[in-house]
Amino acid sequence: MNVDVTPLPGIGVRKEIELRDGRRIGVISHRDGRTALILSRADDPDACVAELPLTNEEAGALANLLGAPQLVNQLNDEHKDLPGITTRRLPVKSHSPYDGRPLGDSALRTRTQVSVVAVMRAGQVHPSPTPDFVLAGGDVLIAVGLNEKLDQAADVLARG
């Protein structure tokens, strides 16, 4: 799928894709750091039906919602022949004891035998995070392990 990038002089940059019904959905990244989600009309791709301003935290959460499922599905496909192994998204909530702390402080692998293979943050994938990778509220950890161990890992992230 092609992403069209359009400079908007004095405003910022518009990045969008065309949906199958002809409408376009995208993001305007303003020069001052603001972000807006936009949706165009089907009959006029330059006419905006809706513009939703997003905070940086909201934009990051939306990016994680959209990006993490594809990554999880890809990883599940790659280890579908390994019985019992599952990939799951584990959120780091803003009130998590590990918000602002290095991944290594959680000792997830030691405590739960779960491997963190990536961290999704604000639409960016950080593959193979090291123990010194500092977690932030809104991050989504992509973890691999047995179902019961993944449940334990989610509990560790939520409660410590």
User: Does the pLDDT value for residue 131 go beyond 60?
Assistant: yes
Q: Which tops the pLDDT comparison, 68 or 103?
A: 103
DSSP assignment string, 40-89: E-SS-TTSEEEEEEE-HHHHHHHHHHHHHHHHHHHHHHHTTTSTTEEEEE
- And the tokens for 31? 């020069």
The whole-angstrom separation of Cα 80 and Cα 73 is 10
- Residue carrying the six token digits 């402080």: 105
Per-residue burial over 102-139, b = 16 or more CB atoms within 10 Å of its CB, e = otherwise: ebeebebbeebebebbbbbbbbebeeebeeebebbbbb
State pLDDT tens for residues 73-113: 666 566 666 677 788 889 999 889 999 999 999 999 999 99
Whole-model pTM: value is 0.58
End-to-end CA distance of the chain: 41
If pLDDT is split at 50, 70 and 90, which confidence band does 71 have? low
pLDDT on residue 70: 64
Question: Does the pLDDT of residue 124 top 80, yes or no?
Answer: no
pLDDT tens digit sequence for 2-59: 778 888 899 888 888 888 888 888 888 888 888 899 998 888 877 889 999 988 778 7
